Amino acid sequence: MSNHHDNTAAHEGHGHDHEGMDKKGIWRIFFVLLALTCLEFLIALGFVHHWQILAKGALVNTIYIVLTLVKAYYIVAYFMHLKFEKSSFIVCCGVVFIFIVYFIILMLTEGGYLLHHFHEYPLWPNK
């Protein structure tokens, strides 16, 4: 019977590690994500398409990438509970993420190189 009380006491203390994920915290993160999504739509449909304040190009793409990375941080940190993990696990996941992004950049660079240099050889005619 005392073993049952020890397990119950251990589980009661476990809830304090996730204080930020109560209903109020979930709604707060939801509205942050909603605001970021609305900002992306405002930039895409308002500033670029309708009012033509910003031109399509590197600046707009950089803004989209930054906003998407901020949204990805909130999703991974709060909804996937990575923010509440130990720092060594966070570093491990971060290193893997960096290698994946590096791999994607390498593949895009290599694909762009091959696309432009295959046109120069008559062995593979593009008709």
Q: Is 0.85 surpassed by the pTM of this model? A: no
pLDDT at position 35, please? 97
pLDDT at position 114, please? 78
Amino acid in position 15? G
For residue 118, what is the DSSP state? G
Pairwise CA distance, residues 20 & 28, whole Å: 10
Q: What is the dihedral of CA 111, 117, 121, 126, to 10 degrees?
A: 60
pLDDT in tens for each of the 127 residues of the chain? 555 555 554 555 554 555 558 899 999 999 999 999 999 999 999 999 999 999 999 999 999 999 999 999 999 999 888 888 888 988 898 899 899 999 999 998 988 887 777 665 566 666 5
For residue 11, what is the DSSP state? H
Domain boundaries, the chain: 23-85, 87-119
Length, in residues, of the chain: 127
